[in-house]
Amino acid sequence: MGTLNVSSYRVGTNRSRTDPGAHRYYLSLQGTSEEGAATGAIVYFWPDPPTDTVGHLADTLLVGLLPDEDFAGWYDILRAERPVKVFYVEGGASGTVFHIGVGTDPEAVGEGPSNLNS
């Protein structure tokens, strides 16, 4: 199991004229390892991602392979929350990742946007 503390990110989109199944969105994440090997991540969001994994670990780079519909949730968390962590679970010597997620540390109940009308 690993945890990447995210300190910065880049977001992008692209389209391939020759490969309609290519990834459409990506998030490039930099940070520090709280646990595990990853000190950075690139998460690709595909129309038809692989069905046998959600990613792999290439040395210190976590590579995520997720469906397009996951992009909005990941991006919302990166834009709105602090601190942000990426959690992952490896399986086997090949570096295959079978769980990947993004989230925060525990937060106080009721912490939300302040009322700008008050």
pLDDT of 46 > 60? The answer is: yes
pLDDT of 55 > 80? The answer is: yes
Whole-number Å distance between alpha carbons of 35 and 114 = 33
- 88-110 per-position pLDDT tens digit: 999 876 889 999 999 998 887 87
Prediction pTM value? 0.87
- 62-82 per-position pLDDT tens digit: 999 999 999 999 999 999 999
Closest CA to 57 of 7, 14, 2: 2
Instruction: Give the model's pLDDT for residue 8.
Output: 97
